[in-house]
Structure 1
Amino acid sequence: MTLALAGFLVAMALVDSTSMGTLIIPVWLVLATRRGHQGRVVIYLLTIAAFYLVLGIALAAGAQALVPVLGDIVTSRPGRVVMVVVGVGLVWLSYRIDPKYRAKRGHDPAESSRRWQERITGALSTPGGMVGLAVVAGGIEAASMLPYLAAIGALTAADIGMAATTATLAVYCLVMILPALLILALRLVAARWVDRPLERLGSWAGQRAGSATAWTVGIVGVLVALQGVGGLL
């Protein structure tokens, strides 16, 4: 694995670490969990990491199986044109899912946060509830985990083998949940100093979660389109 690929994967993992399921929900959980029950936040984080890993292995295996079939197509001129079209489509989609656009269409930007808060309240009572919450969060985010898909695509293109790909994805998932684990550790050792900043972070992030998703989709769209254009020139 090259240094450039490793840096790209770390960058994508850190982008993934800021999503609703890997940062915002964990912050809400940290604030809502009583002292002595913080292990349930760890259960949630390990479950969502495992969900990502299992899904990533399945996607990587499928991608590697298709490389002999689609490799020449993707690098061909028509394939590059498709990449440009897909990239432009993702940029268009980013505008459509932006909360400001949705608010103009009559959608309440705070509705999603309220639904998640209700799910968290119901899940906090048992460890099994944490597992279920993580699976729900991962399933909902599966359609928008574009950084993870970009990482899988880069690993497939690097052709490092399935064993190395699996190990790399495991490290990726650990890096993805690392910021939330650090927040939990800070709360354990310095709750009186970090609770108020965490409350502000949770409120701010909840209000802007939709915008962050839109920006992520738009950025990936630009990168895909530029890669397609680069292949055409």
Structure 2
Amino acid sequence: MTLFAGLVVLALIDSTSVGTLLIPLWMLIEPRLRVGRFLLYLGTVTAFYFVVGVVLTLFAGTLREAVGDLDALSWAELVLGGVLFALSFVFEPKRVRRRRGDVTLASRWQARLSTAEGSRSAMVGLGLTAAGIEVMSMLPYLAAVGLITAAGLSVVSWLPVLAGYVLVMVLPALVLLGVRTALGTRVEEPLQVLSAWLSRHAEGVLGWVLAIAGFLLVRDAVVKLELIG
């Protein structure tokens, strides 16, 4: 249960990224909602993350068997978690905004979305681009792969766990789609407020993502190594 609780927390953190929430939110606040394009985009993102997760978990499992020493892996997990937590202070929102200048992360992705909405193939391309770029910085996802690998689950066990993780990642976007479909323009203003808030805070999101992912890795390693109690 501790493993699953940690995975749910990490998946919900991943669900707040530009690719999994902000881009879908921009699609929902458009006057004409294109449900097919929305689901095509989100399905592309979901499939991409699942395939990447399978590859990473298989690789991590092979590495785990090669190393063999579970204590050594737990110490490595502890060090990695500490490093991630320390790095979170580097990505303080004001510092990130100063480094990026006037061109914000949100404005760049909005431009890509407006270009891609013309065709289905372009939406698939946008989904692959968003997932491909963000997977390198979505440390909760990498941390989740680490937790699954460290648990020593068989392939039959971790495949549905990984699939569930990816589905939780896109669940908030699907819930918002259901709300938008059911209530129509009545939820347009709240969705616009949420979109504006997420756009303003997209620059500094990596900091708290690093902090939470680092904390969960440290906690898992501490429990395995029995450093407390």
Is the structural similarity TM-score above 0.5?
Answer: yes
Letter in 2 for 1:87: G
Q: What's 2:106 paired with?
A: 113
- Please say if 1:207 is aligned against 2:211: no
Given the two structures, how large is their TM-score scaled by the length of structure 2?
Answer: 0.88
Which residue of structure 2 aligns with residue 32 of structure 1? 30
Instruction: Summarize the Cα distance change of 1:137–1:219 in structure 2 as closer, same or farther, 3 Å threshold.
Output: same
Query: What 5-or-longer segments of structure 1 have no aligned partner?
Result: none
Deviations 1:91-127 (A, max 9, x none): 333233333113344x326521111010000011111
Structure-2 residue corresponding to 1:49: 46
Task: Return closer, same or farther for 1:33/1:174 CA change in 2, 3 Å cut-off.
Answer: farther
**Structure 1 64/131 Cα, relative in aligned 2: closer, same or farther at 3 Å?**
same
Deviation at 1:60, TM superposition (A): 0.5
Residue in 2 aligned with 1:14? 12
Equivalent AA in structure 1 for residue 17 of structure 2: S
* TM superposition shift of 1:182: 1.1
Whole-Å separation in 2 of the counterparts to 1:123 and 1:159: 41
Q: Which has the higher helix share?
A: 1
Aligned length: 226
Aligned residues of 2:96 and 2:203 also touching (Cα < 8 A): no
Question: What is the identity percentage for the equivalent residue pairs of Structure 1 and Structure 2?
Answer: 39
Once the 2 structures are TM-superposed, how far is the Cα of residue 53 of structure 1 from its aligned partner?
A: 0.1
Indicate which of 66, 71, 75 corresponds to 1:75: 71
Q: Letter of the 1:137 partner, please give it.
A: A
1:189 to 157, 175, 182: 182
Partners of 1:174 and 1:127 lie apart in 2 by: 22
- In the alignment, the residues of structure 1 paired with residue 10 and residue 40 of structure 2 have an alpha-carbon distance, to the nearest angstrom, of 23
Could you tell me which residue of structure 1 aligns to residue 85 of structure 2?
Answer: 91
Contact preservation (8 Å) 1:15, 1:147:
yes
Does the aligned pair in 1 maintain the 2:53–2:145 contact within 8 Å? Answer: yes
Match of 2:165 among 146, 164, 172: 172
Please give the root-mean-square deviation of Cα atoms over the aligned residues, in Å.
2.2
Distance 1:33 1:9, change over 3 A: farther
Counterparts of 2:74 and 2:180, CA distance in 1:
49
Say whether residues 1:163 and 2:160 are aligned partners. Answer: no
Inter-partner Cα distance in structure 1 for 2:101 and 2:66: 45
Change (3 A) 1:186 1:122: same
1:15–1:117 CA distance, 2 compared to 1 (3 A): same
